Amino acid sequence: MKPQGTLLLSRADVASLLGPADYLGLVENAFAAYAKGTTLSLGLLHVDTPDGEFHIKTGGVTDPRIYCGLKMNGGFFSNQSRFGLPNIQGTIALSDGENGYPLAFMDSIEITINRTGATTAVAAKYLARPDSTVATICGCGNQGKVQLRYLKQVLPIDTVYAWDVQDEVAERYAAEMSQNLGINVTAVGDLGPSVQKSHVCVTCTPSKDYFLKRDAVPRGAFVAAVGADSPGKQEVDPQLLASSSLFVDIIEQCAAVGELHHAILEGLIDHEKVHPELGQVIIGEALGRSDPDEIIVFDATGTGLQDAAGAAAAYERAIERGVGTYFDFFAH
């Protein structure tokens, strides 16, 4: 049956359609499907501009039908101060994988921020110590808020240290998240001692120079390195990756643009010796944490597969609920 047209979905539309439980499920299922070889191939492209960059990511799912998604996000980290715009914004185009019809065109902010938080939570579910109660969040913007909310879904976190290069941002974060989550969130200016007391550490910044040092991470910790998704970004000491158990979302992407990229450049890691991809752990093909004292680093670069899975879920939910506006690109 021919579609009515291309469904246009705003950020508010997407936010109304999917919640944390949806994202946790679709992210885990997408990683598992990739490990089983039942997804479409992935694509990644970066385009640099004088003041920022564009990420173009593609991927596709095959269940319950074939969908292909293409996301283009612009990362311009002075946007809020200069223009009052989001620092990261963009769109996802979702197409029918059987005939190529453009089914939907939607905001990417909601899907990107939630699938990223859900990815960390799914990784923590399999790789962190289940009794983890103390976390440090590095980077107190919107993604830092989402990261903590999703971690709370899978771990008994009750104490949080918030660190940011801008002290006032960390202070506002601590006040807001303490009130919203009903837990103890404290802003800190010195990262090292806070990480030393933590079971989990999440880095979600646009940093170009690493700030999480090897000697700051205690035994048994789980580190989710989320911010490095282009070759110029780096948050984690390469020596930490080399001396820890390193897991990845997608090995080729991490070797090209993630924290692993920097460790390879320094000759510290051969990417052939990296621990398995998260999907392999999820389907039981590989072992996750093997020792309570093991330090585990999860290098997450973000994939077009999770974007496509999120877009497909939003599209199907929108059709069910009658949300969105149709536009016919082929009218003449």
Residues designated catalytic: 71
Burial class (CB in 10 A: 0-12, 13-18, 19+), 137: buried
Which domains are present in the chain?
6-111+305-327 (3.30.1780.10), 116-302 (3.40.50.720)
* Cα–Cα distance, 200 to 116 (Å, whole number): 16
Give the helix, strand, coil percentages of the chain, each rounded to 5: 40, 25, 35
User: 71, 44 in Cβ contact below 8 A?
Assistant: no
Which residues partner with 248 through β-bridges?
277, 299
In tens digits, the chain (332 residues) has pLDDT values of 678 899 999 999 999 999 999 999 999 999 999 999 999 999 999 999 999 999 999 999 998 899 999 999 998 988 988 899 998 899 999 999 999 999 999 999 999 999 999 999 999 999 999 999 999 999 999 999 999 999 999 999 999 999 999 999 999 999 999 999 999 999 999 999 999 999 999 999 999 999 999 999 999 999 999 999 989 999 999 999 999 999 999 999 999 999 999 999 999 998 777 879 999 999 999 999 999 999 999 999 999 999 999 999 999 999 999 999 999 998 88
What sign for the dihedral angle of Cα 149, 16, 30, 87? negative
* Cα–Cα distance, 206 to 208 (Å, whole number): 7
Which residues partner with 161 through β-bridges?
136, 186
Does pTM surpass 0.85? yes
Nearest to residue 212, comparing CAs of 266, 134, 137? 137
User: 38, 32 in Cβ contact below 8 A?
Assistant: no
